[in-house]
Structure 1
Amino acid sequence: MVLEATVLVLDNSEWTRNGDYTPNRFQAQIDAIHVLFNMKTLDNPENTVGVIAHAGASPQVLVSLTNDIGALLKGMHELKIEGVGHFTTGIQIAQLLLKHRANKNQRQRVIIFSASPLDSDEKVLVKLGKKLKKNNISVDVINIGEYSQNEQELQEFVNAVDAGGSSQLITLPPDNKLLSESIKAAFRQISLNDGDNGGFNDDLGFDMDPNMDPELAMALRMSLEEEVARQRAVQPVDQQSQGPSVQPSNNSDAMDTMDEEEQIRKAIELSLQSGENEIPESSANKDHDDLVSSLIDTLPGVDPTDPSLQQELNKAKGNDNKGKSNEKDEDKTN
């Protein structure tokens, strides 16, 4: 997460009444300012953002460097369209605002909108760009409105201020998308190219406005990441624990479909099955008898004292004992 102080400079000149962007150039910039403020403050809680309007009699500072969304809303409330733009003067005032930032460890950045014809020629812009570069200030220019007329001069300005790809010219012709979404997509692509998330993980899947509580939004983001990691770690264990639980359910369903005599016969067979572990014969016989008795008692409509039932049990027990004695004789002969 980059620690940065950013000044957003918007164009509120008469040219921004044009409706080629939805709903017009002026309101499209207002929406984009909110998106950019959100991006920067969510990227790092210690980031600060200021706002300047560069048109009118002279540029005016609307919002000093802050991370408070309330201060942004208050400062933008009475902004209106007036006069002509002052591109270079707006950047110079932004430079002064950054110079007086409270945290000197913050990097310095200006994001400026150009929606009207430039008031300076290429030489003045290049000179200003070199001065900004010397003071370690990065500049992103969002070129809208009169984009074809201004593009060459703005590109020379960005080339002069750029240091290692830190400054960008973003030209956005009118289309069917909102300007704020186009700007967000452009910065997302720049951030991906730089290997940084750029603070774009701000939707979180909740019906909440992360602008209202950035700290809560960040806590939710971290909680979601931890929960995903926990579920991935627990998933193999759950699959192993679910495996053995299928067999008893099938046996229970099978018993429900049998009639009374078949249930008795099945209970006797289960009781006489020998286990894998060696158990003393007297103890095993006792366990078998107890198991048979408990199984018969649970069967509906069965009388455990019925002579025919006792005869079948004794016969089965005798066959089992006979089989065991034959196995012992074979073991002795071997």
Structure 2
Amino acid sequence: MVMEASMIVVDNSEWMRNGDYTPTRLVAQNEAVNLIFNAKTQSNPENTVGLMTMAGKSPEVLVTLTSDVGKILSALHSIKSNGKSDFLTSVQIAQLALKHRQNRNQRQRVIVFVGSPVETDERTLVRLAKKLKKNNVAIDIINFGEEAENTPKLEAFINNVNNSDNSHLVSIPPGPHILSDMLMSTPIISGEDGAPGGFATGGEGFEFGIDPNLDPELALALRISLEEEKARQEAASKKESSNGEPSKAAGSSDAMAVDSSSSQQQQSQQEDISPEDAELQAALALSMNQSQVEDEDVDMDEMDEDEELQRALEMSMNDNNGEANQEMMSAVLGSLPGVDANDARIQKALEDMKEKKKDDKDDK
């Protein structure tokens, strides 16, 4: 399904109090809004829907683009019939709201419920339609209640905004029918691919033989389960086809990258690996092991030297006479590998120790 951002514009004018649609125009409209929201969001998880009114003091955005049905239902519950509708201004505001969509890959669509007379002249409507078409905004109009009066103007509007049949006008006359039921088979609900309610067809016109509007959670769970099963089957099919191919060079090279220690076994199993590659892999593993052993040997040598130097210093500090034997210390230090007994720093350290012992003896 197409990924869309849709703004639903509802008519909340005084005309919506009429009871020619069960139970009133306003309530019938709210049920249809819920149907459209479910169809849009369930057809593509990345779809978002907003809600705004077109009457009252001025057109007002009630809910910005969202996928949370709770926000839409809460806003619908708060709508009251008041004032006259302003078709022109509300569509312009809806277009502006779509410009602020977060996902720029979403197509733009405005869905307008018109349940009262459209007072804007046809020429102005055509000019707005051309602007929407230029900005790649599709529009769907549900014309009900005053459909006979509004149809000529709205047809001219749709003819000028339509681009590759992406916009639709649906006129529904009054009657004992439910407004939302009449929308089920229209392109507004089926979308561009023609599947009712945004779902693949099956059973009695519904996927899995159930009405997604009566139990949307069950329909969504069944759809997810079906998609997961399809993905699993595709993965299994790809795996079988890859196992049947004569060349396995790519698979064996990936295995060697994961575990270098098993490279020789893989080389024997995969005949198309060259002997040079196997030798390079073994040499790499061997060099890594040798460097680790050399590092351990260096650490042991440094520890031995540190211990010998520590013992020599302790011998000098624990001299029974309190004085360091210079010749003995020089001989001990000279026997240590890499130690120069004549180094100025070592001589200074011995002198300092000698002076300290002398000072301690004088104090006593």
Alignment partner, residue 114 of structure 2: 114
Q: Give the SS at the match of 2:185.
A: helix
Alignment partner, residue 169 of structure 1: 169
1:129 aligns with 2:134: no
Contact preservation (8 Å) 1:69, 1:211: no
Higher-Rg member (1/2): 2
Q: Give the SS at the match of 2:15.
A: helix
Q: Give the SS at the match of 2:103.
A: coil
How far is the alpha carbon of 1:16 from its aligned partner? 0.7
How far is the alpha carbon of 1:186 from its aligned partner? 1.5
Q: Counterparts of 2:145 and 2:194 in 1: how far apart (Å)?
A: 31
Alignment-mate amino acid for residue 46 of structure 2: E
Q: Counterparts of 2:188 and 2:142 in 1: how far apart (Å)?
A: 14
Structure 2 residue runs of 5 or longer lacking an equivalent are: 201-205, 232-364
Alignment partner, residue 67 of structure 1: 67
Q: Give the SS at the match of 2:198.
A: coil
Deviations along 1:220-257, whole A, 9 cap, x unmatched?
Answer: 4547989xxxxxxxxxxxxxxxxxxxxxxxxxxxxxxx
Structure 1 residue runs of 5 or longer lacking an equivalent are: 227-334
Alignment partner, residue 198 of structure 2: 199
**Match runs of 1:74-89 below 5 Å:** 74-89=74-89
Q: Percent identity?
A: 46
Contact preservation (8 Å) 2:11, 2:85: yes
Contact preservation (8 Å) 1:40, 1:199: yes
Contact preservation (8 Å) 1:142, 1:172: yes
Cα distance change, pair 203–27 in 1 and its aligned pair in 2 (3 A):
farther
Cα distance change, pair 225–199 in 1 and its aligned pair in 2 (3 A):
farther
Alignment-mate amino acid for residue 37 of structure 1: F
Alignment partner, residue 94 of structure 2: 94
Alignment-mate amino acid for residue 3 of structure 2: L
Alignment partner, residue 140 of structure 1: 140
Cα distance change, pair 58–221 in 1 and its aligned pair in 2 (3 A):
farther
How far is the alpha carbon of 1:188 from its aligned partner? 7.2
Q: Counterparts of 2:104 and 2:3 in 1: how far apart (Å)?
A: 10
Cα distance change, pair 4–19 in 1 and its aligned pair in 2 (3 A):
same
How far is the alpha carbon of 1:74 from its aligned partner? 2.2
Deviations along 1:102-158, whole A, 9 cap, x unmatched?
Answer: 000000001101110112100110000000000000001111011000100000000
Deviations along 1:269-299, whole A, 9 cap, x unmatched?
Answer: xxxxxxxxxxxxxxxxxxxxxxxxxxxxxxx
How far is the alpha carbon of 1:175 from its aligned partner? 2.4
Alignment partner, residue 153 of structure 2: 153
Cα distance change, pair 31–225 in 1 and its aligned pair in 2 (3 A):
farther
1:9 aligns with 2:9: yes
Deviations along 1:148-189, whole A, 9 cap, x unmatched?
Answer: 001000000001100111111111111222100101221378
Q: Counterparts of 1:198 and 1:44 in 2: how far apart (Å)?
A: 12
Cα distance change, pair 141–207 in 1 and its aligned pair in 2 (3 A):
closer
1:216 aligns with 2:215: no
Deviations along 1:31-87, whole A, 9 cap, x unmatched?
Answer: 000000000001000000011110111011111101111121222221111111011
How far is the alpha carbon of 1:211 from its aligned partner? 4.5
Cα distance change, pair 224–84 in 1 and its aligned pair in 2 (3 A):
farther
Give the TM-score normalised by the residue count of structure 2: 0.57
Q: Give the SS at the match of 2:50.
A: strand
Of 181-190 and 93-102, more deviation after overlay is shown by 181-190
Alignment partner, residue 51 of structure 1: 51
Q: Counterparts of 2:141 and 2:160 in 1: how far apart (Å)?
A: 13
1:182 aligns with 2:182: yes
Alignment partner, residue 41 of structure 2: 41
Q: Give the SS at the match of 2:52.
A: strand
Give the TM-score normalised by the residue count of structure 1: 0.62
Q: Give the SS at the match of 2:186.
A: helix
Q: Counterparts of 2:99 and 2:215 in 1: how far apart (Å)?
A: 29
Q: Counterparts of 2:127 and 2:165 in 1: how far apart (Å)?
A: 19
How far is the alpha carbon of 1:200 from its aligned partner? 3.3
Q: Counterparts of 2:123 and 2:105 in 1: how far apart (Å)?
A: 32
| Larger relative contact order (Cα-Cα within 8 Å, sequence gap ≥ 6) | 1
Alignment partner, residue 262 of structure 1: none
Q: Counterparts of 2:71 and 2:218 in 1: how far apart (Å)?
A: 14
Contact preservation (8 Å) 2:22, 2:28: yes
